[in-house]
């Protein structure tokens, strides 16, 4: 699948460095979703997927011309059109990184989190629901043609301020999305977290766990971290353990108190 062209309908909140950001909201949206803008981003993804390093202007323009010819789109990408959108290559690279990460993270494709929340709060098996949501999240990361590009772009970011800002903003978006999901799930299931824990922490743990397992699965195809036939994954087990382990069953104990008690029981 090529860069998930049909996955995100509106790129306006993702492309934060377009030169037209000083215009009206309508003008910003038109520029962000213009076919030429998408063409340059698709070209950037291809460059990242095939080169170990940043997407330079000449490489992106060359690849954009190839894609334009393949699609018979007649968009005629050129340096002037590129600079009209991103006068500085660092701005483009930051937006390209945001684009890759947005395609990579399943939850950011959703206009709202109601679909995930509904699955996780249905009266059927809570464990099965967690496995199902986790499976789709991990499968999406592994199936997207942009997956390797997202990883390479993140690694190539280094200490670049614009790229690091893009990564930070994506992480904050992800945290907010999953924090909202977790809060609603616990509320609707009449659950609560153990004392001292927050839904922000739970959200961060879920996102980091998913990214770590996806990276391992991408680099080791025979890892067995996802079972396509049974439609479950190690991420599902980890997510279920987090939901269960961080929930207060009514004893009011902190996570430390609970774990210390388990250790004492083992000694006895």
* pLDDT for 31: 94
Instruction: Judge whether residue 1 has pLDDT over 50.
Output: no
Average pLDDT over residues 105-132: 80
How sure is the predictor about 107, in pLDDT bands with cuts at 50, 70 and 90?
Answer: low
Asked whether the predicted pLDDT for residue 111 surpasses 50, the reply is no
User: Regarding predicted confidence, which is higher, 101 or 159?
Assistant: 101
* pLDDT at residue number 140: 84
Question: What is the average per-residue pLDDT within 79-98?
Answer: 93
Burial classification of residue 201, based on how many CB atoms lie within 10 Å of its CB (0-12 exposed, 13-18 middle, 19 or more buried): middle
CA angle 28, 31, 36 (to 5 degrees): 165
Predicted confidence (pLDDT) at residue 73 exceeds the cutoff of 50: yes
**How far, in Å, CA of 149 to CA of 209, rounded?**
20
At 175 the pLDDT is 92
User: From residue 128, how far is each of 11, 155, 209, 240 by CA, in Å?
Assistant: 33, 34, 18, 9
**pLDDT tens string 156-173:** 666 778 878 888 888 898
Q: Bigger pLDDT: 145 or 164? A: 164
The dihedral sign for the CA sequence 101, 104, 110, 114: negative
Q: What percent of the chain lies above the pLDDT cut of 90?
A: 54
Average pLDDT over residues 177-181: 92
Query: What number does CATH give the domain 101-248?
Result: 1.10.357.10
Of 6-10, 86-90, 96-100, 211-215, the one with minimum mean pLDDT is: 6-10
Mean pLDDT of 16-24: 79
> What is the pLDDT, as a whole number, of residue 263?
86
Q: Dihedral of CA 257/259/263/268: which sign?
A: positive
Average pLDDT over residues 169-186: 91
Would you say residue 224 has pLDDT above 70? Answer: yes
Highest mean pLDDT among 98-107, 114-123, 138-147, 222-231: 222-231
Domain boundaries, the chain: 19-93, 101-248
- Per-residue pLDDT, 7: 58
* pLDDT reading at 251 higher than 60: yes
């Amino acid at each position: 699948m090529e860069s998930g062209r049909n996955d995100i309908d509106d790129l306006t909140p993702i492309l934060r460095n377009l030169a037209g950001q000083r215009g009206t909201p309508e003008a910003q949206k038109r520029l962000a979703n213009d076919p030429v803008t998408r063409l340059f981003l698709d070209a950037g993804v291809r460059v990242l997927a095939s080169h170990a390093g940043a997407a330079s202007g000449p490489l992106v323009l060359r690849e954009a011309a190839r894609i334009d010819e393949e699609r018979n789109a007649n968009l005629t990408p050129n340096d002037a059109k590129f600079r009209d959108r991103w006068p500085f290559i660092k701005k483009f690279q930051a937006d390209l990184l945001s684009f890759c990460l947005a395609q990579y993270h399943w939850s950011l494709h959703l206009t709202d989190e109601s679909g995930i929340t509904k699955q996780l709060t249905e009266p059927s098996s809570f464990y099965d629901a967690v496995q199902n949501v986790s499976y789709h999240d991990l499968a999406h990361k592994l199936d997207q043609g942009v997956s390797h590009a997202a990883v390479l772009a993140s690694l190539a970011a280094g200490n670049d301020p614009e790229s690091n800002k893009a990564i930070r903003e994506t992480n904050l978006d992800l945290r907010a999305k999953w924090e909202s999901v977790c809060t609603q799930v616990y509320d609707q299931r009449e659950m609560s977290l153990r004392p001292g824990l927050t839904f922000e922490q739970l959200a961060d743990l879920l996102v980091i766990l998913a990214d770590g397992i996806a990276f391992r699965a991408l680099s080791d195809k025979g890892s067995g971290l996802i079972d396509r036939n049974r439609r479950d994954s190690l991420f599902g087990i980890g997510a279920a353990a987090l939901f269960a382990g961080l929930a207060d069953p009514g004893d009011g104990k902190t996570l430390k108190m609970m774990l210390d008690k388990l250790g004492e029981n083992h000694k006895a």
